[in-house]
Amino acid sequence: MPVKVLIVDDSGFFRHRISDLLSGDCRIEVVGTAKNGKEAIEQAKALRPNLITMDVEMPQMNGIEAVRVIMRECPTNILMLSSLTSEGARVTIQALEAGALDYLSKDMRAWMAHSGSLEKQLRDKVVALGRSRHAGLRNRFSDPSASSSRVFKSEPVSTLKTSLDVTSPRSPTSSNRFASNSAQAGKTKETAKTAPRPSQSAYGKKAVPDCRVVVIGSSTGGPAALQQILTQIPANFPHPILLVQHMPKAFTSVFATRLDQQCDIAVKEAEDGDFLKPGRALLAPGGCQMIIDPRSSDKIKIMPGDDRLTYKPSVDVTYASVAKSFGKKVLAIILTGMGADGCDGARMLRQQGATIWAQNKESCTIYGMPQAVINAGLADAVFDLTELVSILGSKRP
């Protein structure tokens, strides 16, 4: 059956443009439109769509308020349309907190042009999110204790072919390798290939393994998953954390700031030269790549995005870098997301004997990225999101 879509936007141009782009796909059926938040709520209740595309700024009731009401009264998957500005990023993060699953940039020039890449991105997101199934959707982003029992339709696996020529020679450990280059005032903030283990019970004591760094990769659904995990990690967590979330440049700074406000650990958007530090998470900046500095393995290097790579930032690139720098002393976690970014990097990590965990299908918004790693036989363990929260949140020095 086709994905039923409700289009919500105060702009007649965008309502018609989105409808035209979606109507050309046999997997999608546009069942209605609305020009403000109040109409969106009425139409959501009457039409029961599988997915709503939601504008942010609208008269009478804006998109964020509409999302909150819809999540409370008739839970529905929602894709936000947002401008690529700091303000657009801020309100989009608020919409994700309210219950929206994902977002797409609203760049007038791109939407006016006959862009095949935009059309494909929109259609693929609509189909993937529209086929996700609810079980009484709750606001998991703003409520870390909420259940992760939703079940989602899996996505086909396709291996991402990228160049992972990241040189970062391993350097010896020193007693001060995790020294911070900037004070955070007021905050303390091993190679045999094996089949993936079916659940956390197969991982013995369910504890964070001995490692030098924890690296988490995510995409669609990642903001909610990261929030749920990071808010439960104690300030005295003994490892540095690197985060690679598919986000545009304007969004990562806002997202890192929001997480820092919510978490006991310190969270910041990574900058070139940042030191790895226990109890601090560094988020890869949008439009760039984050690797371990080849000259000093206790520091981060930020590189410009490479147009040859689909994702900027890319989980594959960061995974490959930490594999070369820290070998088996890495815990890599792959979370919800479309596509297969992280699979090639996970293969390099496995060759070094690192530990790789994947989020299970049942708790993923989109199962693509974890599924690619699991199907390739690279995951040491497969966990529900709430289990990852429990394991990482219970670790102490």
Catalytic residues: 219, 246, 341
Q: Is the dihedral of CA 246, 291, 252, 254 positive or negative?
A: positive
Q: Nearest Cα to 359, choosing from 227, 201, 125, 199?
A: 199
Burial 56-84 (b: 16+ CB within 10 A, else e): bbbeebbbbbbbbbbbeeebbbbbbbbbb
Cα separation, 72 vs 89, whole angstroms: 23
Chain center to CA of 246: 6
CB 203 within 8 A of CB 381: yes
CB 133 within 8 A of CB 215: no
Cα separation, 160 vs 139, whole angstroms: 31
Cα separation, 162 vs 12, whole angstroms: 40
Q: Nearest Cα to 13, choosing from 37, 35, 41, 44?
A: 35
Burial 138-152 (b: 16+ CB within 10 A, else e): bbbbbebeeebebeb
Chain center to CA of 201: 25
- Give 86-97 as a DSSP string: HHHHHHHHHHHH
